[in-house]
Each structure stands twice: as structure tokens, then as C-alpha cells.
Amino acid sequence: MFDLLLRRARLVDDTITDIAINAGKIAALGDIHSPASKVIDLHAEHYVSAGWIDAHVHCYANSPIYHDQPDSVGIATGVTTVIDAGSTGADDVDDFYAITRQAVTDVYALLNISRVGLIAQNELANMNNIDAGAVRDALTRHPDFIVGLKARMSSSVVGENGIAPLECAKAIQKESGGLPLMVHIGNNPPNLDDIAELLTSGDIITHCYNGKPNRILSPEGALRASVSRALARGVRLDVGHGGASFSFAVAKQAISLGILPHTISSDIYCRNRINGPVRSLAHVMSKFLAIGLSLPQVIACVTEHAAEVLRLKQKGRLAVGYDADLTLFDLRRQPVLFTDAEQESLHAEQLLTPLAVIRAGQGYLTEQGSAENAFDL
């Protein structure tokens, strides 16, 4: 007998299937006739995908700058897994780890190469904060929690240090066995060309569609040659919307050139969640539907692509043996006005609405699902 059976779930390619879950894993897919302790019939009306993964959040509750609660940016909004992108360094990652053990949402960390993490905006202005030994010790303490490294490479962060912190990050990455490295890009110096030339296969450029002068597009609207070379080497593009790092105009132009995001992430924390323009990962995903990506493309960016780039081997796919992390959602037709980080607006007619999640085999309603009494979980 299965623990849970979802009958007549609609997948993003519009096929209809049953999904059986047992002991926290996906146990079977297809036309299933075996009994289950609990059965939920979705009547082919609601979509189900692998659980959504937000590859760039800030949810360390004790951060003095970018703080939130893991479940507020996770389960409550249809996201089953979040990756905190550098809120903590080696000095405070133990505290963050302890907090996350109380969350329903599955939480991982990209460790800030600055040992002090985000206690201030300029954590890489002092090169003494970059301590390879402290990083090594943190990785030894939390090998299953820390899934990569984070380096914020913009002028307000690095001060007078230019490209030097990224050179240190690459050395630490090599010493750590090649963990994924996410690199924040913003105002220069350092120049994006210098950043891109240091990046190698598996590295991640976040805030890829920011509207700042130091962006991935040239003034003429073409993709920078340095970024093109980086992509050819296997560097990935992550959205990392945030409150200051996403431009509709840049995203539209890049996508028209075939420069699609590998992962769609929110860069969410309490302020841009409550006051916008981020709101939730679903809200950010909906913006990409409005720009012109298909539903399967958008969902891939928060499931299989995110799991692949962050090496989460049991997540991101609806397949037997994978973690039973699922997101149940609707694609609703309704007028909506989206805003980017440049205060530009975009009218749209579709909104992704997460109603519930299955996390490690257990069901939870989202905020929207609870308000609508969507399912009996």
C-alpha cells in the first residue's frame, strides 16, 4: 500500500498521470490501481511538477540586512527547497544550520567566501575576511548543507579590491573539490568582462538580467563577447530578481537573442517579499511567462535545471526513486501588472498560483491553498 496517491495530475506537458508516494520517495507514475492510505483526486484540473527549487534566497533569520524565515519563502509559496545565497559565512553558518533544522522547507547554503557573511554590504572590502581555512572547516562541519560558494562582485561589496576576491574564490573552489560558485554581478568595478573571464564550467552568474551599466548586454544590445565565451565554457545564468537586479528590457532583449536563464530564482527576503517587486518565486516565474517563455521552460528552470546546477541528485524530477517533493499549482487567467527592479511595468494575463506542496512525502497547503481550502491534506 502506498502512503499517498495523487490521481489524475496534470503535468506541464498536459499529460495526465497518477503519482504514488511511499516512504518519502516517488514510488510509481502512470495508471495506478494499487491502494493508498490517502488519495487526492486532482481531476486533471491542477498541475503537478517536481518541487520548486529557489536557487537564490536570503532566509537567515539572524542576518542584520537580508533576513527572512525559510518557510515564509519556501513552503508557504509553493517552494520545497531553497538555497540561501551567501547570507552566512564560516562564522555564522553553524547558527544558520541549527535554525534550518526546524523548517519544513529543505534548506541549503551557498557559503559566502567572506567569513563574516552579510553583516554589512561590503563584506569583501576587507581581504582579511576571506579565510580559506575557515571555509574548509565549515565544509567539514556541514558537507551536506553547504552546496556551493557565493562571491558578491560589485563595487559596493569589494571596495578597492577589484577582481581579487573572485580570484580568491576560485582558489577556494579548487581546494574544495570544485563546488558550484555563484557570482553576484552589479555595478563596476570590477568590470563584468574581467569577472566572466575567470568563470569556468558549472559557475553561476546571478542577477543575469540586471539593468545596470555593467550588464551582460553591450550598449548596442548584443551579448558581451566575454559572457558569450563564458557560456560556451558551461557557465550558467541565474535570474536572482531581487529588489535591484532585474530589468524587463534586458531580459526581453537577451531572450530574443536566445540567451535564456538556466535557473529562475527570486533573491527574496522579507522586504522585497512583502513590499515587492519580488513577492514570491511563483510571481517571478509568472513574469517569464509574460515575457514569452513556455510553461515547461519556466518549470524546468526551477526543477531539473536548479537541481542539476546545485548537484541535488534526488530532486528536480518526477521520477521513481526521487524525493517526494512536489508542487501543486494552477495557471490562472487573470489580469496582472508586474513590476521589475527598474520600476518598469508589464501587463500580463497569467499568474502561477501554488496551492500545495508535498515535501518528503508529507502534504502542506500554501498560503493561497489555505485561503481557498484547496485540498484535504
Dihedral sign (CA 128, 133, 138, 143): positive
Q: Round to whole Å and give the CA distance between 336 and 347.
A: 6
Nearest residue to 316 (alpha-carbon basis) of 75, 55, 38, 104:
55
CA distance 17 to 267: 33
3-state secondary structure 59-105: CCCCCCCCCCCHHHHCHHHCEEEEEEECCCCCCCHHHHHHHHCCCCC
Residue 49, helix vs strand vs coil: strand
pTM: 0.98
Parts of the chain belonging to CATH 3.20.20.140: 50-309
Which candidate, 341, 266, 330, places its Cα nearest to that of 295? 330
CB 310 within 8 A of CB 55: yes
pLDDT at 283: 98
Instruction: Identify the architecture of domain 2-49+322-372 in CATH.
Output: Roll (2.30)
Per-residue CA distances from 330 to 44, 295, 310, 340, 363 (Å): 11, 11, 27, 23, 17
Question: What is the location of CATH 2.30.40.10 in the chain?
Answer: 2-49+322-372
pLDDT tens readout for residues 267-304:
999 999 999 999 999 999 999 999 999 999 999 999 99
Query: What cell does 254 get?
Result: 537577451
Q: How many other β-carbons are positioned within 10 Å of the β-carbon of residue 33?
A: 7
Distance between CA atoms of 232 and 209, rounded to whole angstroms?
18
Residue 330 in contact with residue 44, Cβ under 8 Å? Answer: no
Q: What is the mean pLDDT of residues 233-239?
A: 98
Where does the pLDDT of residue 67 fall: very low under 50, low under 70, confident under 90, or very high at 90 and above? very high
Mean pLDDT of the chain, nearest integer: 98
User: What pLDDT is recorded for position 210?
Assistant: 98
**Separation between Cα atoms, residue 282 and residue 329, nearest integer Å:** 10
Q: The domain 50-309: what is its CATH number?
A: 3.20.20.140
155-164 residue pLDDT tens: 999 999 999 9
Q: What's the mean pLDDT in 123-134?
A: 98
11 neighbors 318 (Cβ within 8 angstroms): yes
Query: pLDDT grade, residue 257 (50/70/90)?
Result: very high
